[in-house]
Chains A and B, each alone.
Chain A
């Protein structure tokens, strides 16, 4: 930018009078007021038309499309905006290619024209182009100096307006994300740990989550539950999460067979999922009065059953995740909890890492959980999550836990 200005300066006369400096001061002052891009272009163009006695002023802005420019034109006070215009004016092309001010007659006519590059945008594809009526006096050295100074001031103002647009867009996106996250949180049951035999926890690694959990009491007082983990992270995972969670809540209230729920969910998701996205999921039904548990596992991290004597049993997946194969062949497992605890968790939990070390893994998880073995289940999980929230531990994925405490029923009858 400085080198270019220096090379241009040799060809440019300095401004002639104090009044020119006053013109520029006024022009710059107008442009320092924060405005959006169209308003900034209007002010920049009006000032050029007025102070250089031009009939038409145009500012060309490259929008990144191969066919070219979006540009705004001012005829006196009338501003029009066009998009995807071709840039075929030889003077403008020269001005842009050589990054230099170009003065002459437009298209070999008697129309005086002048083009100035707008450089501080960080790219060479912005310029101002001014013309006067056919036969009017041509642009002289003073006009060149004035326009060059105005183009630089306009460039800074345009850059600021573009940055403001980008920041406003980011604010809109952040607002949308926060709203989406709030809606997602409402898709999950909100139960205080320890006040019910089952509770869940979800912490998204980004604003929105690709994991979900759900549970609800069936008419016969059994409790239906599920935990799912959509591949990937962020908004695309969150959208599929919302779909899978809604389908589950609907199907789970009418179909009391976990394997059949997963088979139906698989068909629905497989028909519409794109980009190879899939959902690992466990669905089940817990009977608090008998302690029996029935569940099916589609590609999900093995859940853990902790017996009353603190022994652990894990249950590998019965079938691949949902959304990959047209049909799932799977049957549900039945286990008796016998006063024990059942933990389902997303791989966000086992993939926790301390520093650059190994992942926590299922064994590390059990070891850490047992270091709080004197605590009741809900408090033990809270202690575990609190430990993993300490400095040094890094979360790589959404984190979700669903826990069922069969001993809870006996202590709360």
Chain B
């Protein structure tokens, strides 16, 4: 699991990569909550997420709930097909704001 954080036009972008599972969830949670604390709009880039389990999804949900508490927004971008399948199966595509790419997320 790797993650990096950047800043694009007032949006904090968190790049997640690799396997987001129980082992890596604490690190992902820390990064996402840190980004939520510092930004008004957080974009989570999931293009390189090879696998995400329910522990990883719980991190995303907690970050989303925290963002809403702070009147901030959190959206997922470039979610790869494997992760998208997991999100869609659980109907989490109705919970998260999901964008195909960074450009459309920035325009939104």
Docked CA distance A230–B53 (Å) = 11
Which residues from chain B contact A320 at a C-beta distance below 8 Å? 90-92, 94-95
Which residues from chain A contact B60 at a C-beta distance below 8 Å? 276
- Would you call B63 an interface residue if the criterion is a C-beta within 8 Å of the partner chain's C-beta atoms? yes
Which residues from chain A contact B54 at a C-beta distance below 8 Å? 229-232, 278, 280, 347, 397
A275-B58, A276-B60, A278-B58 in contact; A396/B53 too (CB < 8 A)?
Answer: yes
Which residues 207-229 of A have a CB within 8 angstroms of B?
Answer: 229
A contacts with B, residue count (CB < 8 A): 27
**Which secondary structure dominates chain B's binding surface?**
helix
Docked CA distance A163–B53 (Å) = 35
Q: Is A301 a contact partner of B89 (Cβ separation < 8 A)? A: yes
How close is B79's CB to chain A, nearest CB, in angstroms?
16
Which residues 1-52 of B have a CB within 8 angstroms of A?
Answer: 22, 25, 29
Docked CA distance A374–B36 (Å) = 55
How close is B28's CB to chain A, nearest CB, in angstroms?
11
Which residues from chain A contact B22 at a C-beta distance below 8 Å? 232-234
Indicate which residue in B25, B61, B63 contacts A278 across the interface (CB closer than 8 Å). Answer: B61
Docked CA distance A138–B91 (Å) = 78
Which residues from chain A contact B59 at a C-beta distance below 8 Å? 276
Docked CA distance A284–B92 (Å) = 22
Cβ-closest chain A residue relative to B93: A320
Which residues 61-83 of B have a CB within 8 angstroms of A?
Answer: 61-65
Which residues from chain A contact B63 at a C-beta distance below 8 Å? 276
Q: Is A324 a contact partner of B53 (Cβ separation < 8 A)? A: no
Q: Is A397 a contact partner of B91 (Cβ separation < 8 A)? A: no
- Would you call A340 an interface residue if the criterion is a C-beta within 8 Å of the partner chain's C-beta atoms? no
Docked CA distance A278–B90 (Å) = 11
Q: Is A232 a contact partner of B55 (Cβ separation < 8 A)? A: yes
A233-B22, A396-B53 in contact; A276/B92 too (CB < 8 A)?
Answer: no
Indicate which residue in A234, A324, A347, A397 contacts B61 across the interface (CB closer than 8 Å). Answer: A324
- Would you call B57 an interface residue if the criterion is a C-beta within 8 Å of the partner chain's C-beta atoms? yes
Q: Is B91 a contact partner of A231 (Cβ separation < 8 A)? A: no
- Would you call A302 an interface residue if the criterion is a C-beta within 8 Å of the partner chain's C-beta atoms? yes
How close is B27's CB to chain A, nearest CB, in angstroms?
14
How close is A173's CB to chain B, nearest CB, in angstroms?
18
Which residues from chain B contact A302 at a C-beta distance below 8 Å? 89
Cβ-closest chain A residue relative to B32: A276
Docked CA distance A276–B66 (Å) = 9
Docked CA distance A317–B95 (Å) = 13
Cβ-closest chain B residue relative to A301: B89
Docked CA distance A16–B103 (Å) = 83
- Would you call A47 an interface residue if the criterion is a C-beta within 8 Å of the partner chain's C-beta atoms? no
Cβ-closest chain B residue relative to A350: B89
How close is A325's CB to chain B, nearest CB, in angstroms?
7
- Would you call A316 an interface residue if the criterion is a C-beta within 8 Å of the partner chain's C-beta atoms? yes
Q: Is A299 a contact partner of B62 (Cβ separation < 8 A)? A: no
Which residues from chain A contact B53 at a C-beta distance below 8 Å? 351, 396-397
Which residues from chain B contact A277 at a C-beta distance below 8 Å? 58
Docked CA distance A280–B89 (Å) = 11
Indicate which residue in A231, A233, A325, A397 contacts B57 across the interface (CB closer than 8 Å). Answer: A231
- Would you call A339 an interface residue if the criterion is a C-beta within 8 Å of the partner chain's C-beta atoms? no
How close is A241's CB to chain B, nearest CB, in angstroms?
12
Interface bits A372-389 vs B (CB < 8 Å: 1, else 0): 000000000000000000
A232-B22, A325-B95 in contact; A299/B58 too (CB < 8 A)?
Answer: no
Q: Is B55 a contact partner of A299 (Cβ separation < 8 A)? A: no
Cβ-closest chain A residue relative to B85: A361
Which residues 308-355 of A have a CB within 8 angstroms of B?
Answer: 316-321, 324-325, 347, 351
A320-B95, A324-B95, A396-B53 in contact; A276/B58 too (CB < 8 A)?
Answer: yes
Q: Is A231 a contact partner of B89 (Cβ separation < 8 A)? A: no
How close is B4's CB to chain A, nearest CB, in angstroms?
22
Which residues from chain B contact A299 at a C-beta distance below 8 Å? 90-92
Q: What are 14 A-B pairs at a CB distance below 8 A?
A: A230-B54, A231-B54, A231-B55, A232-B55, A276-B57, A276-B58, A276-B59, A276-B62, A278-B61, A299-B90, A320-B95, A347-B54, A351-B53, A397-B54
Which 9 pairs show the lowest CB-CB distances between chains A and B? A276-B62, A231-B54, A276-B61, A276-B58, A299-B90, A231-B58, A232-B55, A320-B91, A317-B91
Interfacial residues, chain A to chain B (CB-CB below 8 A): 229-234, 275-278, 280, 299-302, 316-321, 324-325, 347, 351, 396-397
Query: Can you name 4 extra interface pairs (CB under 8 A) apart from A316-B91, A351-B53?
Result: A232-B54, A299-B90, A299-B91, A301-B89
